[in-house]
Copies of this chain bind each other. A is one copy, B any other.
Amino acid sequence: MSHPLSGVFAPVVTPFKADLGVDAELFVQHCRWLLGQGAGLAIFGTNSEANSLSVAERRQLLTLLVEEGIDPARMLPGTGCCAIDDTVALTRHAVEAGCAGVLMLPPFYYKGVSDDGLYRYYAEVIERVGSPRLKLYLYHIPAFTGVPITLGLIDRLVRDFPDTVVGIKDSSGDWDNLSAMLAAFPGFAIFPASESLLSRARPLGAAGCISATANVNPAGIGRLCAAWDQPGAAQLQEQADAVRKTFQKYPMIAALKFATAHYSGNPAWSTVRPPLGALGAQQQGELLAELERIGFAMPGLAH
């Protein structure tokens, strides 16, 4: 089993205009900034409001990134939808664009579905895409989907599709689950969803992390991820934790976007699509005050 991706990926926040349309130019610009800061691009993730985008919007944005010269080998787009046809369309498009992999939610409308049903879903997608270039990362985020990716399901998929199903993002926040996966699947590219777990998870073989706060602190998380076994790692962990803990006090996506708006000087960044809401004025003030207190910055962000 290969271990193709590692390091830090940002589930790239998606900028919207006042009319809620995607600001494609700003999106490209932000992707360039993240790459420059050393982060990979997990576009169309939960923090990207991907499920508030249509299939057509996701295809257009990915095509645009490639046309703009952004390296698809640094991209891990989210392609998992409720309907197999949509998942196949997005996954095929990502493979054809040359993306390093895809991060695939399970179908998330029906609850209480069996591992067997989920296996058949993933198998059907893999067979329909039918490409040896497909590298599939499962996406375990039960708080949003209500549909967990169990160790039994991973085991079955990895056994039957060893060259395709190569990793997972674990957004459970559950250390027991993460450490059990790390123990059960050596060589599988396992990404916790938080940099706060890096010091514990990297020694056990975690590939890196795919973290919301990599949108605002990509370099800090990158240093920690690379130097976890070096002197000074504890301090890097502490610094990264301070940023994460600050953002975690607020609705995450709204807070990430507000900070990006503030530090880039572009207020349009604050816009989210309903049903999400932007931070209120008081929250904005509190977040900024705390970020200043911990010496937070987003160096090189375009103004």
Q: Chain B residues near A54: list those with CB within 8 A.
A: 55, 83, 85-86, 89
Stretch in contact with the other chain, from A26-34, A109-117, A187-195, A220-228: A109-117
Tell yes or no: A51 within 8 A of B by CB: yes
Tell yes or no: A25 within 8 A of B by CB: no
Expressed in whole angstroms, the minimum distance between the Cβ of A190 and any Cβ of chain B is 23
Expressed in whole angstroms, the minimum distance between the Cβ of A223 and any Cβ of chain B is 31
Tell yes or no: A175 within 8 A of B by CB: no
Q: Chain B residues near A146: list those with CB within 8 A.
A: 146
Contact size class for A?
35 or more
Distance between Cα atoms of A77 and B85 in the complex (Å): 20
> Footprint of B on A, CB under 8 Å?
20, 46, 51-57, 82-86, 89, 106-111, 113-114, 116-118, 120-121, 124, 143-144, 146-147, 273-277
Given A46-B109, A51-B107, A108-B108, 14 new contacts (CB under 8 A): A52-B83, A54-B55, A54-B83, A54-B89, A57-B85, A84-B274, A107-B274, A108-B109, A111-B144, A113-B275, A117-B274, A117-B275, A121-B274, A146-B146
